[in-house]
Amino acid sequence: MTEPFDVVRVFCGPDGRHGNELGVVRDGARTPVREDRQALACKLGFSETVFVDDPERGVIDIYTPTLRLPFAGHPCVGTAWLLDLPELVTPAGVVTSRQDGEFTWISARAEWAPPRTLRRYGTAAEVDALDVPPPGEWVYAWAWQDEAAGRVRARAFPGRNDGIDEDEATGAAALLLTHDLGRALNITQGRGSQILTAPGPGNVIEVGGRVEFSRPDGQFSPTGG
């Protein structure tokens, strides 16, 4: 048995490079059992994999290699771009989406994001020099590159011991940082991914970025295809 899926890169840099890969199984009905979805997400090995349960209403189910998530930022941005939907229905709530030129934006509430340790450093060079910390704590390391302009340098360390030592681009953590700082941000994360954010009323925050295909119409086989 094979499962067709798309792979997109979310939060690409201005040059179209980098971004965080996301697997999207468009026909979630082919894998209805939660344990099977978790096993598939583990086999694929992306930081997150999305199963689309209703493509018309935008109902989605999100998994890391080891966990099911009620909400995550880069899966919502990538799926909204791929399916061209005005909203997505997640277990946490309804995420609205819009297109603005080269950017896809979602709006979500800060309390939907999973807990993260937001650890501030004095300079971007300190963030660049960090080693991967030991598992056990989800750390979002950040520093101002230009505080007046809202430019941030960040790296993300999930700490789950699931093969994802560093997450290239993390929408939920960017959302939490924006909520804490109360201002719009332009974040450079990982090797060169770009995440834009903007706070709104009632703890609703917009998170946006570029999305590109990585491996369209991929095929996964449990035997290693």
Residues belonging to the active site: 48
Q: Give the H or E element holding residue 100.
A: strand 94-100
The structure tokens listed for 222 are 């449990």
Pairwise CA distance, residues 51 & 33, whole Å: 11
3-state secondary structure 65-83: CCCEECCCHHHHHHHHHHH
Report the phi/psi class of residue 118: left, alpha or beta, with left for phi > 0 and alpha for psi in -120 to 50: beta
Pairwise CA distance, residues 127 & 181, whole Å: 18
Pairwise CA distance, residues 158 & 134, whole Å: 10
Of the chain, the end-to-end C-alpha distance in Å amounts to 11
**What are the phi and psi torsion angles at 179 (to 5°)?**
-60, -45
